[in-house]
Structure 1
Amino acid sequence: MLNVVAYIRCSTSGQGESGLGLEAQRDYIERAAQANGWNIIGEFIDVVSGKLALEERPEGKKALAICKESDAKLLVAKLDRLSRSVLHIAQLMEQVDFKVATMPQANTFQLHLFAALAQQEREFIAQRTRDALAALQRRADAGDETAIEKINNRTQALKKGRAVADITVANTIRMSKVTRYQTAIEPHLKSCLHDKVKTLQSVADCLNRKGFRTPRGSEFNATAIRRLMLALDLSFAKADKASSIQSRIG
């Protein structure tokens, strides 16, 4: 089975040039992995501009390292999640093999060709946009009220869009980290509960002895355990019932 490392990128100005948000990219990646029998051994998320080379991004650098250490391939939802630069794509090809979820069978030559075509298209679009904005600005400078209003509306929309996008991305990443943390610690919490402890502080002491810490790196206390048990829908009564059933089965 082919091991792959999932890499997800969202630009700081919104959901990225392709319009793919974090969850949409993850969905593409997971479906491609399932369809092709690939084993996802890790996931890394960057909220940075595509102008940066992968090795210059905080999580991109980690993803590359894992690929090299584990002899795994890098997997992205779309090619522009890696880079918007043909040069960066070409340099990356010399460092690691990668797969693109939307074209999983593409070879190196095809990926390089797609990157070149995509870059050319983006350059054409960017130039047309600059020309249109320059023309609009000239009309506004000449006193055209409609042009002035459009310029002002665009400026306000860009400011609002950046603020909303930054908050949305930050919340999505935070919740993803919380979910991964809770999933990882759940079996250890259940193990402590099955030891027939009866107080929240006893559970906290159990996890602390095992070397576990809260997401903020602190030792567990009764309050932190209560919140964690509520989040995971666990209780002392459910733990006692599960232990009773297990003992009868055994």
Structure 2
Amino acid sequence: MAEGVFVAYYRVSTKRQGRSGLGLDAQREAVRNYLNGGRWSLAAAFTEVESGKRDDGRPELAKALQTCRVYGAKLVIAKLDRLSRDAHFLLGLEKAGVDFIAADMPHANRLTVGIMAIVADEERRAISQRTKAALAAARKRGVQLGGDRGSRLSDRARKAGRNAQAVSAMERAADLAPIIRNLEAEGVTSLSGIASALTERRVPTPRGSKRWSAVQVDRTIKRITAVQSTQGAAPNSTLSPN
């Protein structure tokens, strides 16, 4: 029985199929059947019209994944081949930080995680072997290895941690930018108004809370502006503080 928030993603292979709806109705029906019963909500649905032979250039899938991150939702698809015929691309969903469910194979996510674990384990072994070889080569060159092995973090490590947090916050702000722009277009132009709307739409805050504040919205807007400035885009937010 399905529970939680979902984002649906449908794909048809040609423009002709997209116009005729051939195969699309079946996908929608499969998703509806999977979601039948339980406590669930569908935040959005996206339809891609293109070939499954390529894994790049899928704007609707990118939007679907972004929406999943915004709502903390799962991506639901009718069939695994609607995403890709390439298993490597399916593994890439892990990098997107989004869980997915295939209606025709609900436990496929567990299988995918298993494959990821095998691949990660193999990569760890390869890294370990390369590291050992590099250390051995360094010793032969007379390099002295070792140092402080206590639990204290260096200034460099602390700085790296802060940078990682900053990057994560900026990525989250970029994900939230479209929904905030839509709210502005609907006439919600104050920080408190945006906060109420995001809370009402059950969009988690950057820290995972269910309730937004005007201060959090203000910080998010500033991060969005910073992202836009680095990308050469003109800031288009006209938020007021009330």
Instruction: Give the TM-score, by structure 2 length.
Output: 0.41
Hey, which of these two has a bigger chunk of helix by percent?
A: 1
Instruction: Give the TM-score, by structure 1 length.
Output: 0.39
| Structure with the greater alpha carbon radius of gyration | 1
